């Protein structure tokens, strides 16, 4: 029996699925969870097996589960086909980790995209020792995310660590100045 979320999801059109595959385009839209990570990974692997031509990934996501974002990030690095990353709408939190999986020259954004970087959050509960373990793990993830953003943006680790202490929003222009994206585009032909 499918859950309510699946029942309310728009049915997939075989025609649109085929067109997306032929255009070598993958969408990372919505909350990043294990289901989205599995779907995106399958598509990337299939496209890379089909051809070594570039794949375009469009990202519009508030983020989600860090490790699910890590799956997509790692699969993009794992496949042989080059990937062009295009930000649209908003690229936040774990979606930034996905976005930063490609070299800077392959990271572009549409003009009205907003970017959000911040430290990970988590709900801790249980016994005091379990809460302490969870807190240590969140600190490790924060350090890893700060390192990734610093490395890929060219900002200092100290600046990124300070910036992600709270929500840090950027327009497309500000994200370009920060080093998250190489350029702002308007048309697909500009890829």
CB 149 within 8 A of CB 164: yes
Q: Is 2 a known active-site residue?
A: no
Neighbouring CB atoms inside 10 A of 33's CB total: 14
Over range 167-182, report the average pLDDT: 98
**In the structure encoding, which two tokens stand for residue 18, read together?**
């085929």
Residues in the chain: 191
* Tokens 């709408």, residue located: 89
Over range 128-147, report the average pLDDT: 87
Output the pLDDT for position 126: 75
C-alpha–C-alpha distance, residues 106 and 126, integer Å:
43
Output the pLDDT for position 84: 98
Give 72 or 20, the one with higher predicted confidence: 72
Task: For residue 131, give every residue at least 6 positions away whose Cβ sits within 8 Å of its Cβ, in sequence order, or none.
Answer: 124, 125
Report the run of H or E that residue 85 belongs to, with start and end: strand 83-92
> Which ranges of the chain does DSSP label H, i.e. alpha helix?
4-8, 14-22, 34-50, 66-78, 94-99, 128-153, 157-163, 172-178
Spell out the domain ranges in the chain: 13-119+164-177
C-alpha–C-alpha distance, residues 49 and 63, integer Å:
27
Output the pLDDT for position 136: 87
Residue in 41, 93, 101, 153 annotated catalytic: 93
**Radius of gyration (C-alpha) of the chain in whole angstroms:** 17
Output the pLDDT for position 97: 97
Task: For residue 68, give every residue at least 6 positions away whose Cβ sits within 8 Å of its Cβ, in sequence order, or none.
Answer: 32, 33, 34, 36, 37, 94
Q: Is 93 a known active-site residue?
A: yes
Task: With cut-offs at 50, 70 and 90, classify the pLDDT of residue 124.
Answer: low
pTM: 0.88
Question: Which DSSP state fits 87?
Answer: E
Residue in 118, 171, 182, 189 annotated catalytic: 118
Over range 119-124, report the average pLDDT: 71
**In the structure encoding, which two tokens stand for residue 40, read together?**
């995106």
Distances 157 to 16, 20, 108, 182 between C-alpha atoms, Å: 42, 38, 23, 20
CATH number of the structural domain 13-119+164-177: 3.90.226.10
């Amino acid at each position: 029996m499918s859950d309510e979320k699946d029942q309310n999801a728009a049915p997939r059109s075989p025609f649109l699925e085929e067109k997306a595959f032929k255009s070598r385009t993958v969408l990372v839209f919505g909350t990043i969870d294990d289901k989205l990570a599995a779907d995106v990974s399958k598509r990337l692997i299939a496209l890379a097996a089909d051809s070594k031509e570039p794949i375009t990934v469009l990202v519009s996501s508030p983020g989600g589960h860090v490790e699910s974002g890590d799956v997509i990030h790692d699969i993009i690095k794992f496949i042989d086909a080059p990937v062009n990353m295009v930000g649209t709408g908003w690229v936040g939190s774990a979606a930034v980790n996905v976005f930063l999986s490609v070299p800077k020259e392959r990271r572009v954004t549409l003009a009205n995209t907003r970017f959000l970087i911040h430290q990970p959050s988590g709900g801790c509960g249980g016994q005091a020792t379990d809460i302490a373990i969870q807190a240590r793990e969140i600190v490790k993830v924060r350090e890893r995310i700060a390192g990734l953003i610093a490395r890929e943006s060219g900002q200092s680790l100290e600046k990124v660590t300070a910036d992600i202490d709270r929500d840090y929003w950027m327009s497309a222009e500000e994200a370009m100045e920060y080093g998250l994206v190489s350029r702002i585009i308007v048309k697909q032909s500009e890829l």
